[in-house]
Amino acid sequence: MVLMQVRYLDVAPWLFSVAANSIDRQIVTDAIVGDEVFRGRSINTFGSTKSIPLIDSANASTSCSSASITSANGALLSGAQGQITQFEGDIDDSPIFPLPSTIVDMAKGDTIKSYIRVTKNPQAKIRKYVAIRDRTAPVVVSFSSSVEIIAAYSPTASLTCSEQDKRSAKYAILSGTSMACPHVSGAAAYVKAFHPNWSPAAIKSALMTTAFPINSRKNVDMELAYGASQINPVKVVNPGLGYTAKEIRRISGANIQCRKTNGTVGDLNYPSIQLQVDKNRTFSRKFSRSVTNVGTPVSTYNAAVKQLIGLQVAVSPSVLSFKSVNEKAFFCCHRYWKSIVRCQSNIYLSRVVRWCSQCENSYCCIHQ
């Protein structure tokens, strides 16, 4: 799962904005149309069907008891033994249907329709679902929710919310933001168990700086889509360096005291930096950050930045040395264009400052 940093959502150190991504398990259901196999998405638990006549829903009134089969419930009520749904858009997850079903994209759907038109007696069957490895994961899905997660389910409820679907189960494979938030909440609780005195801001910092990087080529919106990337509960208890926000001393209670400042949200001591600038103009901006050593008492961290043509990020000092746990150090990130770069509107440029030691790697995500 992913933590998403969005400038207009996430301004308090105790709040998370949670998006989500695909995992490396993908559930698919194949439809065999004639002699050709079409891979689609669904969780078909009914098992493989026999080869049965295949019709276009536009002609359903001549073949079924009812013409209203544009939905799964309608198809079931019409007496259909299965359905193949053509979907325009991203097919990110595999839903459960009250009858053998699979979802295919527009190109596959058009091919199936063409087969129906030119074949005298078109036949099709739908196989039982299979789980395969998704080598493209992790990717932030179009509806920004966790995909195909095994979750507890009420045994008294229908798996598809259909009155005709009498199946029940104690667990189901679900997708949605309700699958994403518990993962992040559980990871935060896991950190708290190891470090009960850490503040919410410190826990948030650990989750962000130890996240597993997501390939920006898979998401054009980069950090505005996947934020700090995919959380890594294995590494989160030992982040090495931590960022805490001293601007907020207390979350609730009386006598709340906040430091007076003329700065912006970008001046908060977050492990991420975001700057919005006008296109085709040079700029220069410095951001100050402090980190706390929560790793090896005697340690040294070196800053590493992979530069981008045009956008430059300089870190000063580039080496942070510590002699004890909870010791603090300060550094400054200077970002600037070396020359005017002609670019399209709404372009995002991103760099990462990586603090590396022999024992831990701590990351400060820099994005624009």
pLDDT at 39: 95
pLDDT at 222: 66
pLDDT at 106: 93
Strand ordering across the sheet containing 361-367: 272-274, 361-367, 350-356, 299-305, 319-322
Q: Assign 9 a pLDDT band (cuts: 50, 70, 90).
A: very low
Distance between CA atoms of residues 92 and 99, nearest Å: 20
Distance of CA 129 to the CA centre of its chain: 24
**Stretch 60-80: mean pLDDT, rounded?**
60
Q: Crossing angle for the helix pair 200-209 and 177-194, nearest 10 degrees?
A: 110
Q: Are 78 and 68 in contact (CB under 8 A)?
A: yes
**Which range has the top average pLDDT, 142-151, 208-217, 218-227, 312-321?**
312-321
Q: What is the DSSP letter of 135?
A: T
- Is the confidence at residue 340, as pLDDT, over 50? no
Token pair, residue 214, equals: 């997501």
Over residues 352-362, the pLDDT tens digits come to: 788 888 655 55
Domains of the chain in sequence order: 2-21+179-367 (2.60.40.2310), 26-47+80-132 (3.50.30.30)
pLDDT at 288: 87
pLDDT at 105: 92
Over residues 81-113, the pLDDT tens digits come to: 889 999 888 787 888 888 899 999 999 999 999
Q: Are 60 and 69 in contact (CB under 8 A)?
A: yes
Token pair, residue 69, equals: 């089969």
Convert 42-77 into a string of H (helix), E (strand) and C (coil).
CCCCCCCCCCEECCCHHHHHHCCCCCCCCCHHHHHH
Token pair, residue 97, equals: 């249907």
pLDDT at 366: 45
- Is the confidence at residue 130, as pLDDT, over 90? yes
pLDDT at 72: 60
Identify the bridge partners of residue 140 per DSSP, sorted by sequence position.
21
**Percent of the residues in the chain that have a pLDDT greater than 90, as a whole number:** 21
Around Cβ 336, how many Cβ atoms within 10 Å?
A: 14
Q: Which of 309, 310, 292, 311 is nearest to 301 (CA)?
A: 292
Over residues 231-287, the pLDDT tens digits come to: 888 888 989 888 876 544 444 343 445 555 556 667 778 788 777 777 677 778 888
Residues in Cβ contact with 268 at an 8 Å cutoff, skipping those fewer than 6 apart: 11, 13, 245, 247
pTM of the predicted protein model = 0.64
pLDDT at 10: 45
Q: What is the DSSP letter of 143?
A: T
Over residues 28-38, the pLDDT tens digits come to: 999 999 999 99
Dihedral angle sign, alpha carbons of residues 86, 92, 94, 95: negative
Ordered alpha helix ranges (H), the chain: 72-77, 106-118, 177-194, 200-209, 223-226
**Stretch 125-130: mean pLDDT, rounded?**
94
- The mean of the pLDDT values for the chain is 77
